[in-house]
Amino acid sequence: QHPSLIVPLNQSFPHIPSGPSKNATAGPHISSILNFDIPASAVNKTCAFWFFFPNETQIDPSSFVYSGEEEHLFRFFMLEEPAMANTSLGNAPYVKYRLAEKVLIPGDDQMVEAIDCPAGETMGILWEGVSDSYLSYTENYAPCPIGLFIDIG
């Protein structure tokens, strides 16, 4: 399942909404909230967050921008509520808890975390870069997925 809404949060313009967007970005001065609509049929199921990051031979290289001198570390947080299209950094939902901290590198798909699905609800996930880690991508699921997705099982 792909995000139903992506909203960038820009630290340089904390009260100006930057969304909605087809791009998710995490870096030194920008982060993104990704909303996921969980169907009512997901009751008593597990929601596994997966980050798919194909290498440049698997996807059009213009689909993402990736940089940083450090270890390319990114954090994922569950928010108290989902974002709205007009969410900015100044009115963004509060963090409920940290899901995970992961090193993301091209060619490495990995599970971020698995939780009990909140059936019938919309979840907001905050994604941010650590230090100078930067990744911006156009959310896509065909032919080769890139980005944060949820597998309900």
Q: What is the CATH number of domain 5-152?
A: 2.60.120
Q: Is the pLDDT of residue 70 over 80?
A: no
Q: Which of the four pLDDT bands, split at 50, 70 and 90, describes residue 58?
A: confident
Would you list the domain boundaries of the chain? 5-152
Q: What is the pLDDT of residue 142?
A: 67
Please write the tens of the pLDDT for every residue from 72-93: 999 999 999 999 999 999 999 9
DSSP secondary structure, 40-109, as one string = GGGTT-EEEEEEE---TTTS-GGGEEEE-SS--EEEEEEESS---TT--GGGPPPEEEEEEEEE--TT--
In this prediction the pTM is 0.93
Structure tokens at 47: 């929601």
pLDDT at residue 97 in the model: 97
pLDDT value at 68 more than 90: no
The model's confidence at residue 19, banded by pLDDT at 50, 70 and 90, is: confident
